[in-house]
């Protein structure tokens, strides 16, 4: 039995419609939907949604908790949204906004310009901080990973772009 799948998904002010294996959530931040497989059943009871497997197959039991989490993510996204914070460390490394594009100076011979995809907001509160926010959890994480991939943190001095809560395992340099 899935511990995650057993929990009800609370609506928290979002409007949810279930039709033809698709769950749509609408809230103050926008609208999202998730496509369901035939192996899970979704029921709306009052201000909560319950997900359960359609049969006792291994695949249905495996997908049960996953679809519950996907539904939880779209409801959280349309009500409060998601954000990822990135930090830049290194001498001369900094970020700035150039219109709606992110301009990164990461020690290359050129500046890296990143165009934010539709539905994603990028903010630079200080030259060494980047905040990526949006309503789709997967898209926010992917954009943050793309920005981090321009200069991932290196283990000797810790220079590069890293997540705010990321720990960089430091290595000792070579000795004589």
Q: How many CA atoms, within 13 angstroms, populate the side-chain half-sphere of residue 16?
A: 29
Domain boundaries, the chain: 3-79, 82-163
82-163: which CATH topology?
A: Outer Surface Protein A; domain 3 (3.90.930)
Each residue's pLDDT tens digit, 30-87 = 999 999 999 999 999 889 999 999 998 999 988 989 999 999 999 999 999 999 999 9
DSSP string, 68-112: HHHHHHHHHHHHT-EEEEEEEESTT-EEEEETTEEEEE-SSSS-E
171 close to 155: Cβ distance less than 8 angstroms: yes
- Residues facing residue 95 across a β-bridge: 104
Total number of residues shown for the chain? 176
Each residue's pLDDT tens digit, 83-93 = 999 999 999 99
Each residue's pLDDT tens digit, 128-158 = 999 999 999 999 999 999 999 999 999 999 8
Decide: pTM greater than 0.85: yes
Beta-strand pair 101-105/112-115: antiparallel
Q: How confident is the model at residue 1 (pLDDT cuts 50, 70, 90)?
A: low
Both tokens of 10, joined, read 């609370």
Q: 82-163: same fold as 3-79? A: yes
- Give the whole-angstrom CA distance, residue 77 versus residue 119: 12
- Is pLDDT of 173 > 90? no
122 close to 129: Cβ distance less than 8 angstroms: no
- Which class would CATH give 3-79? alpha beta
List, in order, residues 6 or more apart from 71 with CB less than 8 Å away.
9, 23, 25, 34, 42, 49, 51
């Amino acid at each position: 039995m899935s511990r995650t799948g057993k929990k009800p998904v609370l609506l928290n002010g979002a409007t949810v419609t279930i039709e033809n294996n698709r769950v749509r959530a609408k809230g103050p931040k926008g609208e999202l939907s998730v496509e369901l497989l035939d192996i899970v059943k979704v029921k709306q009871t009052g201000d909560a949604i319950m997900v359960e497997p359609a049969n006792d197959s291994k695949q249905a039991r495996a997908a049960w908790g996953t679809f519950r989490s996907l539904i939880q993510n779209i409801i959280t996204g349309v009500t409060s949204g998601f954000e990822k914070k990135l930090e830049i460390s290194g001498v001369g490394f900094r970020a700035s906004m150039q219109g709606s594009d992110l301009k990164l100076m990461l020690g290359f011979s050129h500046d890296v310009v990143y165009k934010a995809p539709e539905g994603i907001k990028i903010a630079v509160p200080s030259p060494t901080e980047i905040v990526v926010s949006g309503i789709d959890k997967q898209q926010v994480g992917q954009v943050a990973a793309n920005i981090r991939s321009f200069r991932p943190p290196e283990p000797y001095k810790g220079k590069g772009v890293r997540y705010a809560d990321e720990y960089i395992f430091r290595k000792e340099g070579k000795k004589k």
